[in-house]
Amino acid sequence: MLQGAADSGEGLAVDVRGLTRSFGAVTALAGIDLEIERGAVFGLLGPNGAGKTTTVRILNGVLDPTRVEVLRVLGRDLPEGDALVRPLVGVQTDTNLYDRLSARENLALFARFYGLDRVAAAARADGLLDMFGLLDRARERVERFSKGMKQKMLIARALVGSPQLVYLDEPTAGLDPEASHELMSYIRTVSRAEHTTFFITSHRLDEMETVCTKVAVLADGVIRAQGSPAAVARAAVPRVRARVTPLPGTAVPIDDLLALPGALRAEFGPDFTLVDLCRVDDVPAFIRAAAALPVQLLGVAEEPPTLKEAYLALVGAAGRASGDVTS
């Protein structure tokens, strides 16, 4: 039964197959597939012009696909069901607030669009302003706000309708590290506690790696990889590496490291040494052997590939591929 539900996409917040969108002769999306489970924190990564904004617009029913096999959001088929989906979704994109309205008025206005009455809308607005540390500026026109404050307002506006699915476009752009950290914590908490699905597009790969349960890399209108950040990284970056960290003030002789099982080459970092290995199967034996060396170590562990490395490999490969085509 559960399998059947999964097949029909009922457990998915977003189910997309074969999505294509062209603008004249330019193909922005060339048949992409996405499956995002409810309660997931999904990151869509890609260079500028990769088709991220087009994807978000189509998933919100404000842009029609050129061709699609399945386009289902929160169980409703799009574009026909867009009016049913919009009340369940909150969107923060690179748009502006109403500068001549106060912070409270901006949020209360959108709360009213989501069906709250005047009193409830004002209360919801104040609740969100409090959450984002802006309650003391509630009566001020947002034209006087800093970039970071406006960014917080845009995110708060996306949350005003208590949505089941939230789209966030570069949410931490303009935020200070503390605010970024708080936002990421909030996303993690809400996705787990309330089963809210987050769909984030961002270039801050370190943040995406820590907050996302699933990512997809989009380049030239094609999904190059999709899965958990760790799975995408391992699939895209074939190298196997171990980090050996000696006690400060000591060093591990490089010849000793290269003599260990599977070691290919070594590279010195500021306080550690990275050793490339032949295969992932070599890692356990390498760690045991390194730990047995007659040196004082703080740690020996596999150095997994990062999302940033994977992104650069995938996007770079896409760039080279498109270069091949044009040449």
Partner 1 sequence: MIRIDRVRALLTKDLRETFSTAQIMLPLVVVPLMIIIGYPVAFLWAIRVAPDAVDGLKEFISGFPASAIPAIPGLTAAGRAAYIGVVYLFAGFFLIVPVMVSTVIAANSFAGEKERRTLEGLLYTPLSDAELIVGKIAASFLPAVAFAWVCFAIYTVIVDVMGAPIVGALFFPTANWWALMVLLVPAVSLFVISIVVLVSTKARGFQEANAIGGSIVLPIIGVVAAQVSGLMVLSAEVIAAVSVVFVLLDAGLLLMIVRAFRRSRIVSYLP
Chain residues in the site for partner 1 (CB under 8 A): 23, 57, 60-64, 79, 82-83, 86-87, 89, 91, 93-101, 105, 109-110, 112-115, 117, 157, 161
Q: Which two tokens stand for residue 117?
A: 């009455």
Give the residue with the Cβ less far from partner 1, 49 or 269: 49
Give the residue with the Cβ less far from partner 1, 113 or 268: 113
Report the nearest approach of partner 1 to the CB of residue 234 (Å): 36
Give the residue with the Cβ less far from partner 1, 77 or 302: 77
Report the nearest approach of partner 1 to the CB of residue 54 (Å): 10
Report the nearest approach of partner 1 to the CB of residue 265 (Å): 48
Q: Residue-wise over 260-270: b if at least 16 C-beta within 10 A, else e?
A: bbbbeebeeee
Which of 9, 7, 40 is CA-nearest to residue 165?
A: 40
**Distance between CA atoms of 40 and 213, rounded to whole angstroms?**
6
Which of 269, 266, 260 is CA-nearest to residue 293?
A: 260
**Distance between CA atoms of 186 and 191, rounded to whole angstroms?**
8
Which residues does residue 169 pair with via DSSP β-bridges, in sequence order? 201
Which of 130, 127, 311, 133 is CA-nearest to residue 212?
A: 311
Give the residue with the Cβ less far from partner 1, 96 or 146: 96
Report the nearest approach of partner 1 to the CB of residue 277 (Å): 48
Give the residue with the Cβ less far from partner 1, 66 or 322: 66
Residues in the chain: 327
Q: Which two tokens stand for residue 120?
A: 């409830």
Give the residue with the Cβ less far from partner 1, 110 or 198: 110
Give the residue with the Cβ less far from partner 1, 64 or 176: 64
Report the nearest approach of partner 1 to the CB of residue 122 (Å): 12
Report the nearest approach of partner 1 to the CB of residue 194 (Å): 19
Q: Which two tokens stand for residue 47?
A: 């260079």
- 8 A C-beta contact, residue 96 and residue 78: no
Give the residue with the Cβ less far from partner 1, 7 or 23: 23
